[in-house]
Amino acid sequence: MSSAVVSNTATLQKYLDLPQNGAVLAEYIWIDGTNGIRSKCKTLSKSPESIDDLPEWNFDGSSTEQAPGHDSDIYLRPAAIFKDPFRKGDNIIVLAECWNNDGTPNKTNYRHECAKLMEAHKDSKIWFGIEQEYTLFDQYDNVYGWPKGGFPGPQGPYYCGVGTGKVFCRDIVEAHYRACLYAGVDISGINAEVMPSQWEFQVGPCEGIKMGDELTVARYLLTRVAEDFGVKISFHPKPLQGDWNGAGCHTNVSTEQMRNPGGMKYIEEAIEKLSKRHKEHIAVYGEDNDLRLTGRHETASVANFSSGVANRGASVRIPRSVAKEGFGYFEDRRPASNIDPYLVTGIIAETILGSIPE
Ligand code: ADP
Ligand code: MN
Ligand code: MN
Ligand code: MN
Ligand code: MN
């Protein structure tokens, strides 16, 4: 069933065609206290030339698990601007950081520290590319397209699948792809995943703080596109128990030194540093990630760090082509699909490049 049950998109179109008389709609989006995204819209009298032209705004943090009722005002500080693929025209999406009344970053605002760290290390030109896996559910919380009360056949035909019965909901995936391109998100590809109705999109490579920004906006766009189709997006790392793959956010990483000839030396040094902080990394690599990192289904055990060339059962993989050429990037396979990307890119930068110098 689609959302047409409760809304009428054909009739809506008539109103969307009305001119806006110069107004610009700015949809402010932010990360809430439940690891979800919230948004509210503001009318602007003209297009901002930069982030500095955008007003600070606020919302009721007691309704989003971000503040107590007696001190509920949370401030939205604009951090990045994207084009709005839903409203189009001059309308925009504004990614905002959440700040408390007393001038401290809100408990959900991991972007602030991450941005400081990336700024301190900007000479290293650190790039990230995140592979976001996710699962589709229908409005009754059944995995989308699975037989009612039963299961599809075992995994095998679904990964990068083509054809009826092998692939589910390609329309949402395609719509999201276009929405990202329009918005200005550096989406680098998509593919159907191993579990039926599970998909992946890749964002990047993005330098420094941009990784978290672009992934957050890409997640917002996906959730919002799926709303149009009456479908739910799950970022849970193990949406289904049993012999079904979990969902991750493989995080690919390189510094300028790693990308140049002879870079393998720096890749190996980075992996050595990562191996010494496994526990600290796992602590911020997503809730319920232990359900996914079992050592089965193309994962490594949550308990131990491992690495290897072309090994999809290791914590960190060096792609075969990188090992062959002797430079490039590496892949941290541990992060779960539900990570905060600022926490993950932040701790990776900190471990490899060091904490912020005093
Ligand atoms: P996989 O084989 O693991 O499924 P994908 O093709 O899905 O790989 O994803 C590869 C990711 O690596 C992409 O997100 C891409 O942006 C990223 N990537 C490619 N080159 C670099 C690089 N030099 N530094 C960081 N990330 C990179
Ligand atoms: Mn009100
Ligand atoms: Mn991938
Ligand atoms: Mn994948
Ligand atoms: Mn991968």
Average pLDDT over the chain, rounded to whole? 95
Q: Mean per-residue pLDDT for 213-219?
A: 98
Nearest atom (ligand 1) to Cα of 186: 16
Percent composition of the chain: helix, strand, coil (DSSP 3-state, to 5)? 30, 25, 45
Which pLDDT score, from 0 to 100, does residue 2 have? 47
Q: Mean per-residue pLDDT for 187-200?
A: 97
Candidate of 124, 128, 130, 131 to mutate for ligand 1, largest count of ligand atoms within 8 Å of Cβ: 131
The ipTM value here is 0.98
Res 3 pLDDT > 80: no
Candidate of 130, 177, 252 to mutate for ligand 1, largest count of ligand atoms within 8 Å of Cβ: 252
Q: Quote the pTM value.
A: 0.96
127 lines ligand 1 (CB under 6 A): yes
Give the integer Cα–Cα distance in Å for 348 and 126: 10
Which pLDDT score, from 0 to 100, does residue 6 have? 61
Give the integer Cα–Cα distance in Å for 34 and 284: 15
Nearest atom (ligand 1) to Cα of 200: 7
What b-and-e string marks burial along 29-66, b requiring 16 or more CB atoms within 10 Å of the CB?
bbbbbeeebbbeeeebeeebeeeeebeebebebbebeb
50 contacts 84 by C-beta, under 8 angstroms: no
Nearest atom (ligand 1) to Cα of 205: 16
How far does Cα 71 stand from its chain's mean position?
A: 30
Give the integer Cα–Cα distance in Å for 185 and 183: 6
Which pLDDT score, from 0 to 100, does residue 299 have? 87
Q: Mean per-residue pLDDT for 52-61?
A: 95
Sign of the torsion angle spanned by Cα atoms 90, 186, 346, 354: negative
Which pLDDT score, from 0 to 100, does residue 4 have? 44
Give residue 5's pLDDT band: very low, low, confident or very high (50, 70, 90).
low
What b-and-e string marks burial along 308-339, b requiring 16 or more CB atoms within 10 Å of the CB?
eeebeebbbbbeeebbeeebbbbbbbbbbbbb
What digits encode the pLDDT tens for the residues 64-121? 999 998 889 999 999 999 999 999 999 999 999 999 999 999 999 999 999 999 999 9
In this structure, what are the phi and psi dihedrals at residue 74, rounded to the nearest 5 degrees? -115, 135
208 lines ligand 1 (CB under 6 A): no
What digits encode the pLDDT tens for the residues 24-44? 999 999 999 999 999 999 999
In this structure, what are the phi and psi dihedrals at residue 81, rounded to the nearest 5 degrees? -115, 135
How far does Cα 102 stand from its chain's mean position?
A: 29
107 contacts 243 by C-beta, under 8 angstroms: no
Any alpha helices (H) in the chain, and if so which ranges? 9-16, 111-120, 170-183, 210-228, 256-259, 264-275, 278-283, 320-325, 341-353
248 lines ligand 1 (CB under 6 A): no
Give residue 1's pLDDT band: very low, low, confident or very high (50, 70, 90).
very low
204 lines ligand 1 (CB under 6 A): yes
Nearest atom (ligand 1) to Cα of 333: 3
Q: Mean per-residue pLDDT for 139-167?
A: 92
345 lines ligand 1 (CB under 6 A): no
What digits encode the pLDDT tens for the residues 242-251? 899 999 999 9
CA of 234 to the centre of ligand 1 (A): 22
DSSP code, position 294: B
Res 239 pLDDT > 50: yes
Taking the chain, what is the end-to-end CA distance rounded to the nearest angstrom? 57
